[in-house]
Chain A
Amino acid sequence: MSTLTGIDIRYPIGGLFTALGLLIGGYGIATAGDAAVYARLDGLNVNLWWGIVMLAFGLLCLGLARRSEATPTVRPSGESAEGRAIEQSETRRGLERNP
């Protein structure tokens, strides 16, 4: 079909959310107990908790990307037997015209 798309999108997503999780979670730790910052929230440290959630999501994305590195999800269909079979069957049934 075409050239390899290059990168697994889960890396940039995972990287960004890991960084944001550490940044905002870290800020939450630094501001823990600061009544002025969390006045509207009755003292609930929402930065810390949401930072942890984002960190977990970021690490999950990185882990998934890492695990499937051997068989990247984004690849030309012609590179694998399964992809070729799908392409062939779609062409045979007239769903795709061969370019």
Chain B
Amino acid sequence: MLRSPTPALPAHTPDGGPVDSMPVVNLGLIDYLVMVFFFVTVLGVGWALRRATRTSTDFFLSGRSLPPWVTGLAFLSANLGAQEVIGMGASGAKYGIATSHFYWVGAIPAMVFVGLFMMPFYYGSRARSVPEYLKLRFDEKTRTLNAVSFAAMTIFSSGISMYALGKLLNLLLGWSMDVSIVVSAAVVLLYVTSGGLTSAIYNEVLQFFLIVFGFAPMVWIGLREVGGWDGLQARLADAAVARGMEANAYTSAWSTMGSPADNPIGVEWFGLVMGLGVVLSFGYWCTDFLVVQRAMAANSMTAARRTPLIAAVPKMFFPILVILPGMIALALTATAGPEGGMIPAKLDGAGAVLMDATGRPVLDYDLATPMMLVRLFPSGLLGLGLTALMASFMAGMAGNVTAFNTVWTYDIYQAHIRKGASDAHYLWMGRAATVGGIVLSVAAAYAATAFNNIMDLLQLVFAFVNAPLFATFALGMFWRRATGHGAFWGLVAGTTGAALHHGLSLAVGATPGIKGGFFGVLRTYPSELGQTFWTAIVAFFGCLVMTVVVSMFTRPRPDEELRGLVHSLTVRPADEALPWIRRPWVLAVAILAMTLALNLMFI
């Protein structure tokens, strides 16, 4: 999930190889039984849906026939890859409650926006993918640019997901990485090729419930151990003071955001709201086909619009399941005795504990949530928690694979390689692309093992490509004068601007290279996250300005061709036919009010 606006998950050990130490925990028969039950159900769902998948629309878009609560939970679950569960736990331990900004600022507003204002164009235009919308609205070259970069990204994301899962299971359970990678790839392959998107979505809903039921007891047991929320606050206050910050640095989300120096994230409120809340968040939730595809599978326009809104409700409470464990782990580490805390320290090549400049051990934050699982759960629940962890990785993988096979088949194969073939042929191609996509993902997983730096570089390039996307879509949907040439050159300019900004800036303490500064250092940021947010801001405005300028000098398409694609030329969705409680905007207002309340509670 490297496109999600979340902190990157460093998916490798310092020496680059897989970890081969003693397993942290041994499983009992009961734990294996829980896993077997889950895998049998997942494969059974795929098998049962096989007969219902007859046309390419069934395979790629679930026949546009699913109810909104199903597509809504899948919308949420498809984003729950490695990054979400492990990365958010790691950030919770590193930054505390401020990590919730990735939800309350960096997700909910954008999810509301895509449901209310953008879904009418995605769903109503009958585009079969997000790149295809770009083709309908702009032109072939803009679509192809987006389709090719998106397809490449999905492969690397699912490869990294597989690699991270393999590495984690190797560390925790001593399982062979090869076996983890091959087995998880085979399971996803079987259920996606048999039932297509419906199968992926059904399993995502299943995985959603598994994650909730697998993680909830961990949070509860953890809170019990630190003495509830009050006990957690007291322990984290000690930890914050010991690190030279205000006592509330880990437990209040906003009051330390005035200056980058006062909070663990190292970002001020403007960079946070603009960079994360506007550019990165809208760029991901509103334009990424991985999530939008779930809404496109809904059974009506209203259902498609309600999909991200329904997803937003559990999303706003997800910090309890994914961030709180990290905070509890930090509390159990900071106040632990000499026997060591919940989060293990990083080791150097010789096996000695790495120390930072202040003589404190460097913690391996990525292990915060996994360690909570294996340390707090007795056998029985341990199997459930590990199954939930695997489910989250597989949901992320399957989400990428289904988005890949659709974009490959419709936007690359049908558009450029073989036009006008029969529907049966494209259905066959979809299944073949699933196999091909998974084989390539496995290759990417092994590439991640062998060449860490190449993977870091690719993540960086993808970040540059994604940062300007929302400017293109916003202008396309809300400004009828925007042209195909404008959109294409805007994207190129935005990506270039991102690369330039990154190449000319550096975070404090980072060495020039992949972290930035490769063209010289004009600007220094207090943290890498701050640098990332400002790179996104530069990309967005670069794209916006270039698209407007080029559009003014090129010929716009006639209005008749833009009906259903641009806001001012499309009949507004009228919700009057629905009972008021089911109207999308009523739900949207309730969600925004609840999100505001959450922000105020943890201010």
Contact = CB atoms under 8 A, between A and B. Distances in A.
Interface of A: 1-7, 9, 12-13, 15-17, 19-20, 23-24, 27-28, 31, 37-38, 40-41, 46-47, 50, 53-54, 57, 73-77, 83, 86-87, 89-90, 93-97, 99
A41 B378 contact: yes
B131 interface: no
A66 to B, nearest CB: 17
Question: Interface of chain B, helix or strand or loop or mixed?
Answer: helix
Interface residues of B, number: 59
B64 A38 contact: no
Contact of B213 (A27, A57, A83, A97): A57
A73 B46 CA distance: 19
B64 A1 contact: yes
B52 interface: yes
Contacts of A13: 205-206, 209
Contacts of B526: none
A41 B220 CA distance: 11
Given A13-B205, A93-B571, 10 more contacts: A1-B64, A3-B63, A19-B37, A24-B30, A46-B378, A47-B380, A54-B213, A76-B65, A94-B564, A97-B124
Given A12-B206, A46-B221, A74 B66 contact: yes
B58 interface: yes
B452 interface: no
Secondary structure call for the A interface: helix
Contacts of B224: 41
B205 A9 contact: yes
Contacts of B123: 96
A5 B66 CA distance: 8
Contact of A96 (B55, B124, B563, B574): B124
Contact of A87 (B300, B381, B383): B300
Interface string B373-414: 001111111011000000000000000000000000000000
B381 A40 contact: no
A51 B570 CA distance: 52
Given A93-B574, A95-B571, A17 B564 contact: no
Given A5-B198, A12-B45, A46-B217, A37 B379 contact: yes
